[in-house]
Structure 1
Amino acid sequence: MNAPPRWFTVVAIVALLWNLLGCAAFISDLRLTPADIAQLPEAHQALYAARPTWAVIATAIAVFGGVLGCIALLLRKKWALPVFVLSLIGIVVQDYGLFVLADAATLAGPVAVVLQGLVLVIAIGLIVLSRKAIARGWLK
């Protein structure tokens, strides 16, 4: 097995922090009480009401899969790739629930679209990085 360059570890750590922020946001979202949701703007309340349970489960798969995949990168394990693929599937399913069924683009606005687009790009980037790391022998 070849040693990865220093930038690989830096990227894996930054990606881990990014995914931990996603976990924190997800847990914070789950902890919202009906009273908390009632204090949100009407559009956000509508978004919570329209969000299917399976989309919430997909979000959990996405964020926790991202964390697990980053840990695998730091441990230099090949199983990072399938975990990142699973995380990406969670993101796509979540986005379908949010943007197609719940119309989050209208309800939450362009910031939600940009943020979810960034999440998608980073997830794809982590898959590309994992494939490159496997091909170069950085992961075992």
Structure 2
Amino acid sequence: MTSIKQFQVTFDCAEPERVARFWCQVLGYVVPSPPEGFATWDDFDQSLPPERQGSAFACVDPSGVGPRLLFLRVPEGKVVKNRVHLDVRVGTGLVGAERLAALEAECARLVELGAVRVRLLTADDYNESCLVMQDVEGNEFCLD
């Protein structure tokens, strides 16, 4: 029998710390402690060669259950729709107007953090409603 593998989700972005801190607020994640020997992440960052400074940032689930999120600076900007995205589960078990209210409330909170509402996908015969959004750098995600 194959063992379950741990994984992290990696985002390519222009400003790793900004995007990481956004997702910390969305998911209730935290910034991990800096490496041993450094009081802060800024201290660690300053120890790197200039071209590597600000090139990566991470956040983790404080309960240890969810995957680590890693944000890496890349030179190119986002140009097409994501092939993989996160579904932020805020309406699980809810249907109809109650589900829409939960999605809208979370959408309003995330817009205040810098997210952009893209469109509401209304319920059909197979799926409940969800809200498509973009994070602070335009990466799509859904409120589900």
TM-score normalized by the length of structure 1: 0.30
Looking at both structures, which has the greater relative contact order when contacts are Cα pairs under 8 Å and sequence separation is at least 6? 1
TM-score normalized by the length of structure 2: 0.29
More strand by share: 2
More helix by share: 1
